[in-house]
Structure 1
Amino acid sequence: MTDIPRDEHLESSLALLGEGYPFIRDRCQRLHSNLFQTRLLMQNTICLSGQEAARLFYDERYLQRDKAMPRMLKKTLIGEGGVQGLDGEAHRQRKRMFMQLLDSAAVDEVVRLTEQGWCRAIDEWQARSDIELMSEVQSIFTDSVCRWAGVPLPSAELPERRDQLVAMIDGAGGIGARHWAARKARREAEIWLQQLIKQARSGELQAAPTTALMVVAHHRNLDGSRLDSRVAAVELLNLLRPTVAVSYFIIYGALELLAHPQWRERLRSDDAMLEPFAQEVRRLHAFFPFTAARVREGFEWQGYHFPAGTRVMLDLWGTNREASRWSEPDAFQPERFVDWQDNAFSFVTQGGGDPAEGHRCPGERLAIELLKVALRTLTREMEYAVPAQDLRIDLTRMPAKPQSGLLISDVKRLAG
């Protein structure tokens, strides 16, 4: 049996924060290995990268999610008691609820509502000077997903709820003030939705039985019991928050349009290239760089021993750039997705494997379609200027984004 290569640091948490997204890939390349072990948050951790590593990571025979996520992520991004932390039949039963809620009809409805939101926004932006595109898109998505979910959201309340959802996302990988702002936002958002769940159950709040609010409120556990109202709020947030998080992909896509103006021209008339462009944006710009699990029972893989209980981290960002799977992996080349055959383990921006059975995000198709709507809007429905600003993406910031949120100006609606 071979010893797993080890990182030279005694404790690598500060190095991870200082290096960000490339942390695992760079070490794998330096060690000439698709895995290594290190200490993170005072725990021995095995880090993996690449397609075969992803195939192992999403195999529930070997790895589980229970007690895997750092507490800071539970307190900010994902909440406690939600589907991400479940395993086995409990996970599959909860996941079926999400798969049913996010079916093709739901995707179409959210897309329709979002297209309306973009249309209204362009009218408003024409009368304004500088617009922070990221914040504006987050408003559109917050409004659209709440309308779809049956969550009442008066227009005066929209900025507050948007900011809560955004803070949970933005602070998930932060420390200090960002982290504490995210924890506060989660507490407030859970209280808001927990109250709506209680009102839905009592009949005080009326909504169609097929809306996300009502489905989550009345969902039953395997034992037939209702979800705890706080856990139900967590799961409702697991529908709202990821939809608003798609705003990051929109900004990444807008930045690629700036960097590759020939694609702006092409997308104006080439419907067939919208999805390849969107997929290449998602491949290069994984929202979060890593995800975590724990070893169920000790096992051997590729001649290495994985001890029971060890935390394992999969490199999402680096797996999407694995040189043996992707030609010129760091280059922006949407053409690579023309006639691409979906591979459940080489392209893992939103998880790997089968979304119905495993831990791949059930909202992946919605994210792709919302990005396509944005690309159509930015190239066909409006023209705009981009004032001078720092548009660099700092990969040590998780999730990464340009500091400015992408300022645009001189918005004009294009004649249809």
Structure 2
Amino acid sequence: MLVLDDTLFLLLEGYGWLPALRRRASGGVAHTRLMGRRAVVLCGPEAARFFYDEDHVRRHTAVPEPVKSTLVGHGAVHALDGIDHRVRKAMFLSLLTGEGVDSLVAQTTAAWDEAVDAWADGRQVVLFDEVAKVLTRGVCRWAGIPLDDADVPALASDLTAMVDGFGSAGPRHWRARLARIRREAWLTHLVRQVRDGTTTAAAGSVLDVIIGHRDADGKQLDSRAAAVELLNVIRPTVAVCWYVAFAAHALHRWPHHRDALREGEAAYAEAFAHEIRRFYPFAPFVAGKAVRDLSWAGEHIFAGCLVLLDVYGQHHDPELWEEPYTFDPKRFVGREIDAFELIPQGGGDPNTGHRCPGEDITATLLQALAVRLARLDYDVPHQDLTISLRRVPTRPASGFLLAAPPSRDQATAGAVPSPLKMCT
């Protein structure tokens, strides 16, 4: 079967590319080529089980170079398999689960409260940018990475650039590459300072644990590899700003959810966070490589073939979700979520497979910040809130502008609006 390369169509169509391919294919399994390599496209919980079985598909060598050079870094845990992956991932799990989550959330919510207090009277703010700075400040404090307040905006800009450029070509992509080069150099220097005694790392901190980690071969990470994995803690944490901007978008379009969040019911806040991660697009797909000749749904998959799991398509599949294009957090209230059903950060067991070990942190941070956002008193100025499915990763075009509302007396007198404040 002659299959033309579809890389250009991925860049042009974004999130709609794989669902469109599958609609045109018999049996829902599509064949294509991506960056010159033969690929097969799968979708659905059972396909996810197949994909995340290392006897079928492995991530090693499947992560494309543009993604390594922007999003995850070369030599990162994402590109490992087998015992190497399990040992490296165990380090991340020790940091990103349990008490570590509570500590990070506490640091981040404190940084949020500081930011809200500091927003000037009457000034419009871009929520996406402000939350990126909040998350940068919070995660660096938590991780034990020294950071002056004056350096927060530049670091937040670089961390978001790494994410913003992974699925693009052109200026966004090159900004991402340059941002990664800068920040790997910065953290490599920090690691060397700790190792030569010039700087100290707090015992048990993220910085301390990654510097002291030993891989399956018993060797410590070299300074650059340690810097890459430090970035793989702080960069995805800051990427939660995408989800917070989506939460603001959802609260603006469907404001009745605000009251439920303001009440602080944990089950509803958790369901709201899950629905944000399902409804709004982030990663369009994940990729691996077939380790041997395989068969799926009657389709032959050749050894070495790329296997693409359609994440966006799965999250909007009417056979899996009732009214998938309706934003409805209640679908997750009291619902047991299968490990291969909701997969914005991978599928399967987070302890042994390729599911992101930071998923708990993402969901918990999103819950905490969505509740604070719902309790914040603000106006939404006229702006472009479109979310393009051709842009990967996408977000509200304006970044979501908000401003403090004027009081009645101030509006009458033409005075400057009051500061943003929390509603109780």
For residues 172-321 of structure 1, the aligned pairs below 5 Å read 172-271=166-265, 272-321=267-316
Identify the residue that residue 142 of structure 2 maps to in structure 1. Answer: 148
Distance change (3 Å), C-alpha of 1:394 and 1:224? same
| Residue of structure 2 equivalent to 1:372 | 367
The one-character-per-residue Cα deviations of 1:190-237 (angstroms, maximum 9, x if unpaired) are: 000111111122222112221111111111111111112111111110
Match of 1:68 among 39, 44, 62: 62
**Secondary structure of the structure 1 residue equivalent to 2:239:** helix
2:16 aligned residue: 22
Amino acid at match of 1:109: S
Correspondent of 1:412 among 403, 412, 420: 420
What are the superposed Cα offsets for residues 10-35 of structure 1, whole Å, 9 maximum, x if unpaired? Answer: 22111111111121122212325332
Q: What SS is found at the alignment partner of 2:113? A: helix
SS at match of 1:21: helix
Q: Which runs of 5+ in 2 are unaligned?
A: 405-418
Aligned-partner Cα distance in 2 for 1:357–1:34? 29
Q: Distance in 1 between matches of 2:207 and 2:382?
A: 43
Partner of residue 41, structure 2 = 47
| Cα separation, 1, equivalents of 2:264 and 2:107 | 23
1:246 CA displacement: 0.6
Matched length: 409
Offset at residue 282 of structure 1 (A): 0.5
Find the counterpart in structure 2 of residue 158 from structure 1: 152
Does the CA contact (< 8 Å) of 1:13 and 1:40 recur in 2?
yes
- Cα distance change, pair 268–126 in 1 and its aligned pair in 2 (3 A): farther
What SS class does the counterpart of residue 283 from structure 1 fall into? helix
Unaligned runs of 5+ in 1: 1-5
Q: CA deviation at 1:142?
A: 0.4
Distance in 1 between residues matched to 2:328 and 2:40, nearest whole Å? 32
Q: Contact 2:286/2:311 (CA < 8 Å) preserved in 1?
A: yes
| Residue in structure 1 matched with residue 129 of structure 2 by the alignment | 135
Larger mean Cα displacement after TM superposition, 245-254 or 10-19: 10-19
Q: Please, which moves more after superposition, 250-259 or 221-230?
A: 221-230
Aligned-residue sequence identity (percent) comes to 43
- What is aligned with 1:336? 331
Partner of 1:3: none
Q: In structure 2, what residue type is equivalent to 1:267?
A: L
**Structure 1 residues 353 and 333, CA gap change in structure 2 (3 angstroms):** same
Q: Which residue of 2 aligns with 1:327?
A: 322
Moved more, 161-170 or 201-210: 201-210
- TM-score, normalised to structure 1, is 0.95
**One of 158, 162, 173 as aligned partner of 1:168:** 162
SS class of match (2:420): strand
Corresponding position: 1:349 with 2:340: no
- Worse overlay, 389-398 or 156-165: 156-165
For 1:204, the aligned partner's letter is T
Q: How much has 1:290 moved relative to structure 2?
A: 0.9
2:385 and 2:317 map into 1 onto residues whose CA distance is 26
Q: SS state of the match for residue 308, structure 1?
A: coil
Equivalent residue number for residue 110 of structure 1: 104
SS in structure 1 of the partner of residue 40 of structure 2: strand
Aligned to 1:385, the other structure's residue is in SS state coil
Matched residue SS, 2:68: helix
- The answer to whether the Cα contact below 8 Å between 1:296 and 1:309 also exists between their aligned partners in 2 is yes
How far apart, in 2, do the equivalents of 1:409 and 1:56 lie?
47
| Whole-angstrom distance in 1 between the partners of 2:318 and 2:277 | 17
* 1:367-410 per-position Cα deviation (integer Å, ceiling 9, x unaligned): 11111111111112x21111111100011111001221111111
Q: How well do the aligned residues superpose, as a CA RMSD in angstroms?
A: 1.4
Contact 1:114 1:140 in 2 (8 A): yes
Task: Give the distance between the partners of 1:258 and 1:231, measured in 2 at CA.
Answer: 42
Q: Distance in 1 between matches of 2:59 and 2:334?
A: 34
- Give the TM-score normalised by the residue count of structure 2: 0.94
Alignment partners' CA distance in 2, 1:286 and 1:200: 39
C-alpha separation in 1, matches of 2:242 and 2:86: 28
Structure 1 residues 95 and 56, CA gap change in structure 2 (3 angstroms): same
Asked if the contact 1:96/1:356 (under 8 Å) is kept, the reply is: yes
